[in-house]
Amino acid sequence: MSVESVLIPDDRAFSSFKEECRSEEAWSLTYNKTGMTVWTQTIGDEEKSLHKIKCRMACKDVPAETMYDVLHDVEYRRKWDANVIETFDIGKLTVNADVGYYSWKCPKPLRNRDVITLRSWLPTGSDYIIMNYSVKHAKYPPKKDMVRAVSIQTGYLIQSQGPNHCTLTYLAHVDPKGSLPKWVVNKSSQFLAPKAMKKISKACLKYGEWKQRHNPGFKPWLYPEQTTLPTIPVSELSIQHADSLENIDESTLSEMQTREERDSD
């Protein structure tokens, strides 16, 4: 059986991602408050949990360059991202592509998720793009206590709006693996995604001070010669298809359970 080849995104892929971030056609507006807009798009059967979400936020007092650094800096993410369980880089593919692991807490009572992704990035004038999709690596199989999710395509578009102002667009097309209840999908677009975007913006405001105390000159996403990651041959990777992973049925879990567990904490 032939294994589908892993491709490192080219200029055309970045251009296509940017266009989808900017387009509002075929998207349903679900949230629009105080500089934050969220759209969703259902893929196929509405009963299934596969959907796209897109969030756009105006970030005052945040230069585009700072936002780019914060989204890249794995060490800093461990400090500000309250949902992260574990995150680390596995290896580099090119000067602007690597492979990494990320696991995160899901709203109770859902099981936590993790992903292995091929991430690539590209500064384009005053804008920046970071995007990823799921891959398989033999040394990092699915874990028993996690649900291995699949990023079909996820990423960020950062657009400079002046020296101290940028717009951040987050686009996620993810298969969380499993039949999720509708309240999770609704909560993601109405509450979780806007909350996560605001956390990123707040993290940017504190990054300069933090970075001054934590290896200030080390930014391998800007200076690839600084990287200490081992080089991974693309041949060691394969596409992670959702249908090859365990499917978890969580559709009967109620939001009330979430409140009860929170109240008992």
Q: List the structure tokens of 143.
A: 């874990």
Q: List the structure tokens of 96.
A: 């602007």
pLDDT digits (tens, 9 = 90+) for 165-215: 999 999 998 876 655 555 555 556 567 788 889 999 999 999 999 999 999
Place of tokens 């009572």: 109
With cut-offs at 50, 70 and 90, classify the pLDDT of residue 1.
very low
Is the per-residue pLDDT at 62 higher than 50? yes
Q: Which residues contact 263 (CB under 8 A, 6 or more apart)?
A: none
Q: How far apart are CA 222 and CA 170, in angstroms?
A: 21
Is the per-residue pLDDT at 251 higher than 90? no
Beta bridge partners of 168: 57, 158
Q: What pTM, to 2 d.p., does this model score?
A: 0.86
Residue 30 vs residue 242, higher pLDDT = 30
What average pLDDT does the structure give for the chain?
A: 85
Is the per-residue pLDDT at 4 higher than 70? no
End-to-end CA gap in the chain: 50
Structural domains of the chain, ranges and CATH numbers in brackets: 11-261 (3.30.530.20)
Q: Are 122 and 16 in contact (CB under 8 A)?
A: no
Q: Are 181 and 205 in contact (CB under 8 A)?
A: no
Lowest mean pLDDT among 10-14, 150-154, 203-207, 218-222: 150-154
Strands 127-137 and 113-124: antiparallel
